[in-house]
Structure 1
Amino acid sequence: MERNELCWCGSGKKYKKCHMPIEEKIMMHAERGEIVPTRKILKTPFQIEKIRKSAELNTAILDEVARQIHIGMSTQEIDDIVYRFTKEHGGIPAPLNYQGFPKSVCTSINNEICHGIPDENIILEEGDIINVDVSTILDGYFSDASRMFKMGKVSERAERIVRVTEECVKLGLEAAKPWGHLGDIADAINTHARANGYSVVEDIGGHGVGLEFHEDPFVSYVTPKGSEMLLVPGMMFTIEPMINEGSPDFFVDEDNDWTIYTMDDGLSAQIEYMVLITENGAEVLTK
């Protein structure tokens, strides 16, 4: 673009005062052979504000689940809460009918790594740990986050894996800095998980989000520091490592083709933040 043209992002500013300095810096990194984001990956100011609204609703839904979740309820009841609250506030549950997924939320318990399907016959019991993964569409814009819940008094090993997973996500967030790399996030997470005797699932990771449910880039949590895509202001993605007690290996439920289990039947925990890279660091949009 010409320096004095209005910027492509729709900010109303001249290109030279908006994205020109950013794109010149991106080009410098590209010339070094680094992986850099395209304009399509960078969210515009208008898109960011719309996605913020979706993220606010997503957080409110998780807060509502946190208020109502209890021992003795079925995971279908969690799905009912998510569906009803989302619809009452003008949103659409993003998982519902996504590539055939039959429910409005993912509920993954104990040795289920992710994509657990709510069911009226699955009852939360004392000692369970459960990941509730909520994804929301509001006015065509997407948001995504998940939380771990502990049912009553849980075992020491369950308590510990949830705590370490929380620590991993926070360390990953701290490593998410503009002009760093996705690999910096992965290294922080993987290093802490391994130091505590855990493994990180390798073949499932985070993703870009906002305009679609899943966008580029893929976010690995096992790659080296300084590797993968350059982090640039305007990028939006999830930080959601899946931490396993034992092996990182897994298998998919043959009956539903969705639920993913630990191969060795060990516990698994996952916490998901949705973040926006800014000029100063990473802003958490929903968690």
Structure 2
Amino acid sequence: MTRVVRLTYADGMDGPQKPKQKPNWTEVPPRDWAEEQAHRVALEVSRLRGKRTGQWLADRTRELGYPLTRAVISDIEVGRRRYVTTAELIVLARALDTAPIALLYPAPYRDTIQILPTPEGGQPRDFQKIVAVQWFSGDPKPTLDLPDNSAQPELTLDALGLSMVDQMNYDSHLLALTRARKASDLAARKWDLIAKLRVRRNAKRQGLDKVSDEELDDLTAEIGELQERIDELWKLGGRDLHAEAVDEMFGDRDGG
């Protein structure tokens, strides 16, 4: 005997309901500061992908060792998924031949955005996007671009609400980064001089130009001095020499 099962639906329903679709950026724009971050990344990923398919981008991330599915990429771009992880930001930037910070803060950089969430009991404050880039990149002295008639530029750290103590901590925490950047700049200068030294040595060897031994010695000495400065910066790392000097002068505070 065959049993017939009859399906019935609630009043006003013509049939089984489809799963409710998550809202996209067009239907529901970013609702808070956190979603604004994802929205900027989504727009830039979509722009850089251009006419290439989502599957192409998914394949690129797989080749790079951190695969994102076509569905995930689509959800990020259209706003069904309203967050982007750090790992996703990095691999998407590499796949699209850009930098992670340029996905998070794309041009134009004179546009204003809200860098930080609105503090409790406070008001939101917008800054030029380049300021966000400077701060996010660990610029030791990010500065606001104020009108030409301003008496002096306003330090972004002040505008971001960092107290004097907070700013001292900020500087201390960035010591290693600041020194590493300086070492990198000096290394670039060193390699320029090495290339110049090779050219001048070849010119002297082939008799193409008048090159004195003194000139070659000066270049060699300058390269050596740069290397010493580079080595010292890497050796210092994040050590706070000022704090060490104070501790040495006054002794261990906990020791009495």
Q: TM-score, normalised by structure 2?
A: 0.25
| Structure with the higher fraction of residues in strand conformation | 1
| Structure with the higher fraction of residues in helix conformation | 2
Q: Greater relative contact order: 1 or 2 (C-alpha under 8 angstroms, separation 6 or more)?
A: 1
- Rg: which structure is higher? 2
